[in-house]
Amino acid sequence: MRILGINALFHDPAAALVVDGHTVAAAEEERFSRRKHGKRPVPFSAWELPELSARWCLEYAGIRPEELDAVTYSFDPGLARPAHEMGLDDPWDPLRLDYARRSPEFLAEALPGLDPDRVVFVPHHVAHAASAGPASPHRDSAVLVLDGRGEAASHLAGRFRDGRLDTLATQALPDSLGLVYEELTEHLGFLRSSDEYKVMALASYGKSRFLPQLRQHVHPTGDGGFRARGVDWAALAPPRAKGEEWTQEHADLAASTQAVLEELLLELVHWLHGEAGGEALTMAGGVALNCVANSEIAARGPYRHVWVQPAAGDAGTALGGALHVAAQQQESPMPMPGADLGRGWSDEELRSWLDQAAVPYERPDDIAEAVAEELARDGVVAWFQGRGEYGPRALGHRSLLAHPGRAENLERLNHVKGREEFRPVAPMVLADRAHELFTGPLPSPYMLFVHDVAREWRDRIPAVVHVDGTARIQTVDERQEPLVARMLRGFERRTGLPVVVNTSLNTAGRPMVDDPRDALECFGSAPVDLLAIGPFAVRRGRVFA
């Protein structure tokens, strides 16, 4: 079966293609449209579809719209209730629901030849769950989904057996861990439904002194559900205006909310294990992008294995919806092969882009060794290799790389990217070396956990050590990422350090670089020393001589 998955209603529109149970392609619309998160999550944008990413998925596989067996839409308007009945202040929600109901005709217009009767509504949290369990390496697993909202709930707990979901608990709106965290994000002067990861970073600078007050509003109910609403944020700390300096009160409020989130998640995980048993937990939903909480679950929870969908936010529901329908059709979904499911270009296509841009470039004997040499000289490298990543993390395909042994490189990269000074950058390390430097869940290929940095290494790789002594690492498997592994080994030969700084290839407010034009534009506008694009090297010194 050929199944195209679509996420469109709230935010992070995306498309994914599953053929005979195999994940063939998946990409977020923002990488094509160059609009961060694709659109804002407001009812007036709910009609917008991931047309560009959907067309690319089909073109990549050589499939015409009329040849699709099904198109999934990761929201079922038939399960929704009026917003006011759910305790939500969203007067325009009926407009959003109307757009959802009409999505089959919108999709048929966007993809000429598609039969609208082939569009299938998949419940939002079922799509999230299917992006985790069946996509993971674990055939049978418990699954936990937490986000802002779906049709009428904010949470699903269940178990997968042979690709089939058994739902054990849900939490009705308005109680929502995701919405609580979104409210805090807005209160602290960041962009709601976008900048929640900044709150997580800020939390490391604070103390959880507001935890008793927050527990009154955020706590488990003992039946697999929870209460999460009604926090008077202003009574705890004053609101922060956008661009205003943060204070210790703001950091303490972030730390307290992070702490209560972790407490509640651990309670939910223990309840789920009591109901579902097993050794593996899979997770999805926007809350699953909280890598600090994920690490607490891995360290203190009852599961031997914890696997988090790399596109855990709403973008992942495009893949989950397609995998869910594949399972319903008796096709056993295969684990996703990795996060590099987006666009890629051949060497000759890249050469053509460079020739067209009329920039001087070279083709070194080994681009990995050339990059290792530049990094050892303390250069900043834009790394553009292979297919783009699905999800928000740069995982060695669209990355900015730097020397981890220079403490000033944290400030340097945050300046290059236009980011807040309190935000950390991440280390990339070979999987077979990670245990020497880091303590935490290993391997960690998708950068979705934090790890304690060994004390003897903290002064050697200061650029990647957060204020609390942790790092959000990416482990590199040489069999899956031979080029990245070769670069890491070349850097260690020159410096004695088996780690390289890895952060996403973009600047503030812009989506991650995706195509060669994006890479050249980013290289031209940011103080980057070398662009490694396929086997070619573009050096700033030659371009701007």
- Over residues 42-52, the pLDDT tens digits come to 999 999 999 99
8 Å CB contact between 181 and 197? no
pLDDT of residue 77: 97
Name the 3-class secondary structure at 453. Answer: strand
Cα separation, 51 vs 112, whole angstroms: 11
Whether 238 shows a pLDDT value over 70: the answer reads yes
Please tell me the pTM assigned to this model: 0.96
What band does 545 get if pLDDT is binned at 50, 70 and 90? low
Does position 311 have pLDDT exceeding 90, yes or no? yes
Reported for 94-98, long-range contacts at CB under 8 A and 24+ positions apart, including other chains, are 95/43, 95/44, 95/46, 96/9, 96/43, 96/46
Q: Is the peptide bond before 174 cis (omega within 30 degrees of 0)?
A: yes
Is it the case that residue 308 has pLDDT exceeding 90? yes
SS3 label, residue 429: strand
Residue 183: which pLDDT band, with cuts at 50, 70 and 90?
very high
CB atoms within 10 A of CB 457: 20
Segment (H or E) for 399: strand 398-402
Q: Of 31, 57, 18, 63, which is closest to residue 337 (Cα–Cα)?
A: 18
Q: Considering 11, 37, 187, 324, which one is annotated as catalytic? A: 11
Q: What are phi and psi of 451, to 5 degrees?
A: -130, 145
Q: Which residues contact 84 (CB under 8 A, 6 or more apart)?
A: none
What's the average model confidence in pLDDT over 293-309? 98
How confident is residue 301, by pLDDT bands cut at 50, 70 and 90? Answer: very high
| Secondary structure string (H, E, C) spanning 204-261 | CCCCCCCHHHHHCCEEECCCCCEEECCCCHHHCCCCCCCCCCCCHHHHHHHHHHHHHH
Q: What is the pLDDT of residues 332-342, one digit of tens each?
A: 899 999 999 99
Tell me the per-residue pLDDT of 265-293, one tens digit each, with 9 for 90 and over: 999 999 999 999 999 999 999 999 999 99
The pLDDT-based confidence of 243 (bands split at 50, 70, 90) is confident
pLDDT in tens, 191-229: 998 999 999 999 999 999 999 999 999 999 999 999 999
Q: Quick one: average pLDDT of 388-399?
A: 97
User: Which residues lie below 8 Å from residue 479, measured CB to CB, with a gap of 6+?
Assistant: none
Q: Is residue 421 very low, low, confident or very high in pLDDT (cuts 50, 70, 90)?
A: confident
Predicted confidence (pLDDT) per residue in 75-108, tens digit: 999 999 999 999 999 999 999 999 999 999 999 9
Whether 324 sits among the annotated catalytic residues: the reply is no
Confidence class for position 385, pLDDT limits 50, 70, 90: very high
Per DSSP, what are the bridge partners of residue 188?
A: none
When pLDDT is cut at 50, 70 and 90, the band that residue 111 belongs to is very high
Helices 248-276 and 291-300 pack at an angle, to 10 degrees, of 40
Share of the chain above pLDDT 70, in %: 100
User: Which residues on neighbouring strands pair with residue 470, listed in sequence order?
Assistant: 452
Mean pLDDT for all residues in the chain: 96
**What's the whole-number mean pLDDT along residues 240-261?**
96
Q: What are phi and psi of 157, to 5 degrees?
A: -125, 135
Q: Which two tokens stand for residue 192?
A: 């709601």
pLDDT for position 507 = 87
Distance in angstroms (rounded) separating the CA atoms of residues 109 and 464 = 47
